[in-house]
């Protein structure tokens, strides 16, 4: 497969080959299984995220969203096609916080700093700065069991930011949280993104979450995953999940998601 994305009129998902991107996927396919019996999971995915852009990948369970994120993260390789991440390895935040319970909040962040090569003397000040950024100032010495679920996800976000990547990959990081905590973290993530202008590729199956957060929502079809449709979200930030404009666009996207689910025989 050619790494080039050829189009006379670049759309939101495909930008010109010479335009700066945070990540570019070109005709990416991914299959699992033995040769001759492999099952396609992703089929001909072409998608670009611009520097500083917040993009949500949306789709039903099993459509390949997490697989696509793992490919971008370098945790797996595509069966065909190319993936370019010009800024180097992205940071990745999982659904589970994956913090080491025997380390404090600060030490969990320092571990990422150490792996990045930050000198010992600079690690604690930087960890404390990142905790302040996620509104957990003073939590440096707290153990994981002393933190609520939302606080743990904030530490996990600070640890991801400690990797100093310009591309942040987020795999349903708020799915296990209650509605109020999730709402608070939506606000905090939007604030941090506005301050840092990171590029974010965020996976979710929650339509309202996608519309609340993203500048662009990309809907994947199921079995195998293809880019079915996308929407530019022209609603000023900060948004609230109950805002009328968020609700209206969510209804439109939900109907398209239902069509995809019916089309592929999922119930």
Joined together, the tokens standing for residue 256 give: 């398209």
> What three-state secondary structure class fits 189?
helix
The topology (CATH level 3) of 1-90+169-267 is: Rossmann fold (3.40.50)
- List pLDDT tens digits, range 179-232: 999 999 999 999 999 999 999 999 998 999 999 999 999 999 987 889 999 999
Per-residue pLDDT tens for 68-108? 999 999 999 999 999 999 988 999 998 888 899 999 999 99
Residues 6+ apart with CB under 8 A from 158: 109, 127, 130, 131, 133, 134, 136
Helix axes 105-116, 149-161, angle to 10 degrees: 20
- Cα–Cα distance between 184 and 149 in angstroms, integer? 12
Q: With the C-alpha atoms ordered 74, 174, 48, 130, is the resulting torsion angle positive or negative?
A: negative
- Report which of residues 86 and 12 the model is more confident about: 86
Q: How confident is residue 62, by pLDDT bands cut at 50, 70 and 90?
A: confident
Domain ranges of the chain: 1-90+169-267, 96-164
Instruction: For residue 127, give the nearest of 166, 98, 160, 170 by alpha carbon.
Output: 160
35: which DSSP letter? T
Q: Give the DSSP letter of residue 9.
A: S
Cβ-count burial 227-250 (b if 16+ within 10 Å, e if not): bbbbbebebeeebebebeebeebb
Read off the pLDDT of residues 142-176 as tens digits, 9 standing for 90 and up.
999 999 999 999 999 999 999 999 999 999 999 88
């Amino acid at each position: 497969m050619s790494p080039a994305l050829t189009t006379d009129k670049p759309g939101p998902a495909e930008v010109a080959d010479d335009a700066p991107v945070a990540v570019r996927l070109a005709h990416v396919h991914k299959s699992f299984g033995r040769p001759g019996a492999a099952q396609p999971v992703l089929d001909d995915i072409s998608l670009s995220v611009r520097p500083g852009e917040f993009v949500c990948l949306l789709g039903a369970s099993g459509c390949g969203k997490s697989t696509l994120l793992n490919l971008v993260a370098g945790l797996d390789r595509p069966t065909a096609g190319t993936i370019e991440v010009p800024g180097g390895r992205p940071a990745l935040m999982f659904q589970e916080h994956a913090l080491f319970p025997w380390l404090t909040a600060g030490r969990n962040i320092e571990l990422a700093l150490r792996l990045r090569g930050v000198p010992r003397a600079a690690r604690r000040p930087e960890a404390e700065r990142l905790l302040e950024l996620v509104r957990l100032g003073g939590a440096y010495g707290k153990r994981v069991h002393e933190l609520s679920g939302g606080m743990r996800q904030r530490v996990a976000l600070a640890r991801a930011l400690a990797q100093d990547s310009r591309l942040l990959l987020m795999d349903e990081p708020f799915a296990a949280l209650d509605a109020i905590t999730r709402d608070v973290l939506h606000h905090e993530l939007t604030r941090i993104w506005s301050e840092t202008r990171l590029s974010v590729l965020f996976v979710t199956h929650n339509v309202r979450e996608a519309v609340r957060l993203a500048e662009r929502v990309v809907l994947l079809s199921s079995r195998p995953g293809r880019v079915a449709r996308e929407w530019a979200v022209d609603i000023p930030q900060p948004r609230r999940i109950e805002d009328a404009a968020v609700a209206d666009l969510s209804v439109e996207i939900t109907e398209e998601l239902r069509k995809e689910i019916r089309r592929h025989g999922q119930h």
